[in-house]
Amino acid sequence: MKVTLLGLLMAAVFAIAVGELMQSTEDESRWWYAPSRKAPLYEHKYQGLRERLVRAAAAQTVNMRLPRDVLPSSYTIRLLPFIEEGNFTTDGYIEILIDCKVATTNISMNAAELDIMENSIQVVDNADNTMNDVEKFYDEQNPREIITINLKTPLVVGRTYKISMNFISYLNEDLRGFYRSTYVENNVNKYLAVSQMEAPDARRAFPCFDEPNMKANFTITVGRKTSMSAISNMPLKSEEPIANMPGYVWNHFQPSVKMSSYLVAMMVSEFVSELSNPSLSPGVEFKIWARPSFRNQTKYSADIGPRILSDYVTKYFQIEFPLPKVDMAAIPDFAAGAMENWGLITYRETDLLYDERRSSASAKQRVAIIIAHELAHQWFGNLVTMDWWNVIWLNEGFASYMEYPGTDYVEPGFEMNEQFTVTDLHYVFGIDALETSRPIDFEVNTPSQINQMFDAISYEKGSCIIRMCANFLGEPVFRRGVTNYLKNNAYGNTVQKDLWNALNNQTVTENVQLPATVETIMETWTRQMGYPVINISRRYDSANSAVASQQRFLLMKNENSTDTNNYSWWVPLTYTKDFTDIRQHWMPSGSGANTIPSLPGSSANWVIFNVGQEGYYRVVYDERNIEMIRNQLMTNHLAISKKNRAQILDDYLNMARANLTTYVTAMELTRYLAHERDYAPWTAASVALDYIDIMFYEYPDEQEWKNYMTVLVTPLYDHIKYEASNSDAHLTVFTRSQAVSWSCGKLNISNCITKANRDYHAWMADATKELQPNLRRLISCTAIAQGGRPEWQFGFNRYLDSTLANEKTELLRSITCSQNVAILNEMLEMMITPSSGIRLQDANTLFSNIAANPVGHGVALDFLINRWNDVFAYFDGYEGFGGDAITRLFRALCNRVNNDVKLEKLIKLSTDHPASFNTASARQGIELARTNVRWVKKHYGTIVNWLKSQDSVTEGTTVTSVASTTAHSTVATTPSSAASTFVNLFVILMAAIATFVGF
């Protein structure tokens, strides 16, 4: 299940700098983050959030697991949804065949929010139709989500029984279970019923054994109006009228293959479908479903979907796809980025639909990468499923790894291999560098805990360690090992040891030499959180050797930490002097200092470790080696690969934050960026430098920082140019977004501002004109930030009217760029007003982007504090995987906190509402905010002094910028002093004045 997304959006760059005012276009492809890339926004609304929070705390010690006395073998499910206002209910009937494993009088299964017709419950011996009388029925849907049928006589081991019952479920608006979604077609409200069963939400659609290792076959029948269509996991078998219900029919679907309950899917709608060319996926019918007015946006998915399935994933795994068809549906209201249901994959509209004329390059990549992710799941997750949710990373990590080569197969021009490090790796480095991180394999019990496993650790870190494993085994060996793993466990469930054993057996078969078993090596990466920084200290003598040591990398170490774990990993070190001679050295776990006896070249050569950044670790060098690397970058940076240039910048700018090197050393490395033109290094630098940009906001030397960045960015902007060309490579388009984001959004370079205003006002004058799609958000953001209410109103109206899913999201983010405090407050009011036009699923995006706006951050913080009761009531009950909706709003505020006043407000907000913020995600947010404030006190002065030492470098460079229209307050250089109190009060005063005058 993806992402992500980024809404997902997920659009996050680095754990600290997530959601900056003008993020680069490629970051929009993150559909599931903050902190999870996966991107579900909400879940259920079946009780008040306060009550559920209390229950969730109590449930940590409650046994939420089902006994294994009986196990299901097959389900027959009949659902008749009434998709009409005033009666959003579903009449249900179910039969379950169970095998008795242990003699018992109790049959327990999962159910939630279901009205069970108790008098309809029957338990029959399947061999002779003998009835087993029911003694009692225990309904523990609240809080255990379990029902138990107590029998008068025990079931007999080895016999099969049939359970049957009638029930009613509800087509809720909570985006889980069997729920309803809405959209407008020709000014008419339309409804559809669709399912979302992951994580444990099949129990909201029908009673079931809702655990992934209780697989069964499902035979599904769905009723529908004759004006609608119904689809499910399997092809349609037959159709018949529903007795005594004119205008309704039953759709009977073929029995499914053996699968987990969370993969069950069905949809009843007025959607239309686009059939793929049968030659693209022989033997597998491939269709794309969407609302009728969006049919013209389905062609791209209909083209690449079957090619990824048949030509890439099937051939990669060497296992045929076991189903006869694949439906992919674009859902208007959808919490996740996408869901990999076998045979019926559901997506957010933004993640499946693409308009070739109006959609951006990032939107196109986003569609391709999510489709590749979901199709990889058809094997890794669906065919072979994790035994329990604690190892969900076996599903999500592998799909996140496979999405890159899968996309690269159909779109080689996207250069996905270059993008991996600066999207997945660098992002999760930020999360996993916190003391509040978690191991990949982490015990969970309750549904709330399960949902929190869908985060960056399962997705991005999972993909990164799989990539590292594939690299040290060799990709062909790794692939054959994975194929054997899938074949040996087809239609079953696994733990991570099963994967390690399959890979290890393959290394033995192919005589791959490893210092330890695959399990020994890899479990140092899955059983403990974090990752190492490798300290390389070269010995510049005739032997030209080096000593390597490792320690856990932490952005900020808590001196009061109670963590006594001695972190150490098996590390596959790779190193080179020229990228032609690449060598490997294993650093054992717990080994301490480790000698590398002979480096390539001589002591006069630089040596770079972690070639291509394939390993999940950072590297810090001795002063002489990093100086040689810096000189190489300044004289001919192309001698170092793009991925390693990105690695060096990301490593050193983050190690300076962690006090493992100096900011002087890190900033000296950035000087070469005036000559850099490539995507990966600029993206890595932008994320880290953007953090400094945030930390300098409203401090007296902020302009000194802006001047330096202008010197670095202007050559890139002049080279890449504002105007697009039809011959632009894919990554050129993304790099242009980086240049324009800095030039227009942060540095106010006049050429960029002028052109953006020109284009936006031309659009305002003639709405039939189109902005260039790849800069649409940045142009709109710039003009709205520079303008007033007319510019904002035009953008808002376009957002309301847009029928292009990706454009709608871009415009929503753009209107949050306003510098007018009154308008920002209006948007926050709209966020909690159902009739405002801001959809509930977009509320998080709106708030997060206002919080990322330098002017909007304080407005959003005050709004959440002052309007807590209203915000809480509006979001009451809507939870997302990895954290509830309220926590997501809170987390969005943490990233830009850079002074004591805002930190104290944030802490007070969390302590005033402990039931809402007693989550790992909220604690991570507080840790990030504290780290920011400590960073300012420790590093601000150092960087200012270094910047001032660069004045001679920048003399003679003339850069014209537009003065900010925002009222900027001034903050003392060292906010830890008494002056800090005065300055922080001044910040509050200026904010109050700005609010009063309506800036």
Instruction: Locate all alpha helices (DSSP H) within 638-768, ordered by sequence.
Output: 642-657, 663-670, 679-696, 702-720, 730-740, 750-765
Check if 415 is active-site.
Answer: no
Within 10 angstroms of residue 869's Cβ, the number of other Cβ atoms is: 8
Which has the closest alpha carbon to 421: 693, 682, 740, 676? 682
List, in sequence order, every residue forming a beta bridge with 76; answer none if it has no partner.
95, 219
Question: 457: exposed, middle or buried (C-beta count within 10 Å: 0-12, 13-18, 19+)?
Answer: buried
Binding-site residues: 373, 377, 396
Contact 595, 585 (CB under 8 A): no
Run of H or E residues at 904: helix 900-912
Please tell me whether residue 582 adopts helix, strand or coil conformation: strand
Q: Helices (H), strands (E): how many in the chain?
A: 33, 32
Binding-site residues for Zn(2+): 373, 377, 396
Dihedral angle sign, alpha carbons of residues 320, 326, 331, 334 = negative
C-alpha distance from residue 256 to each of 73, 80, 438, 745, 905 (Å): 12, 19, 36, 52, 54
Catalytic member of 274, 374, 614, 698: 374
Structure-token match 């953007």, residue found:
690
Instruction: Locate all alpha helices (DSSP H) within 379-534, ordered by sequence.
Output: 393-410, 416-420, 426-432, 447-451, 456, 462-473, 475-488, 496-509, 518-526
Which has the closest alpha carbon to 92: 189, 187, 167? 167
Which has the closest alpha carbon to 380: 335, 312, 313, 465? 313
Contact 805, 349 (CB under 8 A): yes
Cα(9)–Cα(36) distance, integer angstroms: 9
Residue 105, both tokens: 């009088």
DSSP tag of 973: S
Contact 298, 353 (CB under 8 A): yes
**CB environment 200-232: b (16+ within 10 A), e (fewer):** bbbbbbbbbbbbbbbbbebbbbbbbbeebbbbb
Write phi, then psi, for 734 (nearest 5 degrees): -65, -40
Cα end-to-end span (Å), the chain: 43
Cα(815)–Cα(7) distance, integer angstroms: 17
DSSP tag of 306: H
Q: Could you list the active site residues?
A: 374
